Amino acid sequence: MVEALKKNPAWKGRKGPVVLVIMDGVGYGKYKEGDAVADSKMWHLEALKAKSPHTKLKAHGKAVGLPSDEDMGNSEVGHNAMGCGRVFNQGAALVFASIASGAMFRGQAWKEIVENVVKHDSALHFIGLFSDGNVHSHIDHLKAMIKQAKSDGIKKVRVHVLFDGRDVGETSALEYTDPFEDFLKELNNGGFDAKIASGGGRMWITMDRYGANWPQVQRGWNVHVHGEGRQFASAREAVETYRKEIPGIIDQDLKEFVIAENGKPVGTIEDGDSVVYFNFRGDRALEISAAFEEDKFDHFDRGRRPKVCYAGMMEYDGDTHVPKRYLVSPPSIDRTMGEYLAASGLRTLAISETQKYGHVTYFFNGNRTGKFDDKLETYVEIKSDVVPFEERPWMKCAEIADKVIEALDSGKYDHIRLNFPNGDMVGHTGVYQAVVCAMESMDLQIGRIAKAVEKTGSVMVICADHGNSDDMYEHDKKTGAVSRKADGTPKAKTSHSLNPVPCIVYDPAYQGEYPAKSGEGDLNEGLGISSIAATIIQLLGYIPPANYDTSVLKM
């Protein structure tokens, strides 16, 4: 438990609440070509910038707890940082450290995984995102575990690959598959047998989140566990075949495949096997974990459910303890802004659509399921459409704005936080026209909310959790030139960017408590998005906790 925040006697107060608008995946682009944010008619956002103090915040690398500044930020760590007001070492850094020190392999979970396989003379299966994107997973973690498995006496390893195409190049699958096959070939001696067994694109199988598309998880279950799917001799053959048959398909959408020899799958999951889901990020790990672990499960027919020893890379939900067994402990995040607001008696509304609902609740609250105070907190989820995002790029931003405006008019809340997912979810499709539509749709809703903020005497802080839509084309790292396909069109980039993100403080009832001329310079500069928590607390009229990162306000 935390103590109530201390009031700031110099704060003159505002009639309405403090609204935090998180434009997911919206940054300041480095290149003119491919910056769909700058290329969009975001007139309302630009008007707010023109009359409000604003700055740029870091949203990647060490500023959000990742190992290096070459690591792209993501929604999970971004919302963690904004919600807890300081930086914690995050998944990738923790896993790399655990492997380097050997702590992972000395831990009880790894020992149980290995002992189960040795006892039953069975197989060890690895399922996870197959890239070095370092957002959900890293292929080096997988390689280290396979090496250790061989060292620990395991004879049979099967890998179920989820192709990326979002956090890395959209058609880079073979850049990972071919070297990995060579890696396995070098290890396959002395009775050790390791193979790729199944796979598909991350947005087609296995990696759904927030219950948005359980059939996606079912396709993954069927291909990984039962070996049900189109058969190929190798992962390379599967990728090349699907690319020929479905022109323009990118890695994240590749259909499921099974590797078979003599017509028989090489790696179904059987009783007595062990399974490691090697993603470290939690949101797209919970559903497949439930399929393996839950006795009462009604999301789809699992058919034969093998009795396995299952482990996740990390604990994906600290409150419900999913999974029951995990290799590396997640960061212990405490004293979040939400907990302080509840302890101070402040009323909060958190809202988004399904795709980002967990980010303004679970991740924002430090990977905590549930509320700090049921009487003070209201969480609203607007169900996302289950369609390709490029086909409906406006998503649910209008419905989110409707609820926020209703909440502003009600006078029931002291703080409202919302997430517009458009810039991230549509940005990941690589469809430039759709992203521009997404940006302009979101901008219309920001304009509507701004009017309600003015009417109710509220304050609005606009920011983002990381970049994405600001960097839609692949560029040569040395020259900056756009990478192009054979037909001369730009090669789409579907991953996050390393770019800074906006922070705009719109305070139409401003009373002089802090410098607030329009333009840059009146806010603190060089900060990260972890400064958002202290900023919100100050605008609510309270003094931020002593160890919170500096607010953007010069108070």
Residues 307, 313, 316, 322, Cα dihedral to 10°: 20
Q: What is the pLDDT of residue 396?
A: 98
Q: Please indicate whether residue 75 is annotated as part of the active site.
A: yes
pLDDT band at 319 (very low <50, low <70, confident <90, very high): low
Report DSSP letters for 517-535, one per residue. Answer: -SBSSSB--S-BGGGHHHH
Bridge partners for 156 per DSSP:
193
Percent of the chain predicted with pLDDT > 70: 99
CB 400 within 8 A of CB 416: no
Beta strands 326-328; 193-201: pairing state: unpaired
Cα separation of 180 and 172, whole Å? 13
Distance CA 385, CA 353 (A): 9
Reported as a pLDDT band with limits 50, 70 and 90, residue 318 is low
**Residue in the structure block whose two tokens are 């009146």:** 522
Taking the CA atoms of 25, 420, 347 and 56 in sequence, report the sign of the dihedral they define.
positive
Question: What backbone phi and psi angles, to 5 degrees, belong to 92?
Answer: -60, -45
- What's the confidence (pLDDT) of residue 495? 82
**What pLDDT score does 212 carry?**
87
Q: Which residues of 480-515 are buried (b: 16+ CB within 10 A; e: fewer)?
A: eebeeeeeeebbbbbbbbbbbbbbbbbbbeeeebbe
**Paired tokens of 9:** 């006697």
What is the spatial distance between Cα 420 and Cα 446, in angstroms, rounded to a whole number?
A: 10
Spell out the domains of the chain, with CATH numbers in brackets: 6-10+19-89+332-543 (3.40.720.10), 92-328 (3.40.1450.10)
Q: Which of 383, 333, 328, 329 is nearest to 82 (CA)?
A: 333
Could you give the CA distance from residue 286 to residue 214 in angstroms, rounded to a whole number? Answer: 11
pLDDT at 210 over 80: no
DSSP, residue by residue, 38-107: TTS--HHHHHHHHTSBEEEEB-SGGGGT-SSTTSPP-HHHHHHHHHHSS----HHHHHHHHHHHTHHHHS
State how far Cα 314 lies from the chain centre.
15
For strand 459-463 and strand 501-506, is the pairing parallel, antiparallel, or unpaired?
A: antiparallel
Q: Biggest alpha carbon distance in the chain?
A: 78
Please tell me which residue in 52, 75, 469, 530 is annotated as part of the active site: 75
* Residue 505, H or E segment: strand 501-506
Q: Look at residue 518 and tell me whether its pLDDT is greater than 80.
A: no
Which pTM was predicted?
0.76
Q: Which helix (H) or strand (E) holds 23?
A: strand 18-23
* Residues 231-253 pLDDT 10s: 999 999 999 999 999 999 999 99
127 neighbors 162 (Cβ within 8 angstroms): yes
Q: Is the pLDDT of residue 110 over 80?
A: yes
Question: Residues 392-406: pLDDT tens digits?
Answer: 999 999 999 999 999
- Per-residue pLDDT of 467-482, as tens digits, reads 999 999 989 878 999 9
pLDDT at position 259: 98
| Residue-level pLDDT at 378 | 98
Average pLDDT score over residue span 182-206: 97
Model confidence band, residue 264 (pLDDT cutoffs 50, 70, 90): very high
For the residues 444-455, what does the mean pLDDT come to? 98
Owner of token pair 């690589």: 430
Amino acid 45 reads L
326-328 and 264-265 as β-strands: parallel, antiparallel, unpaired?
unpaired
- Report the mean per-residue pLDDT for the chain: 95
Output the CA angle 123-128-134, nearest 5 degrees. Answer: 135
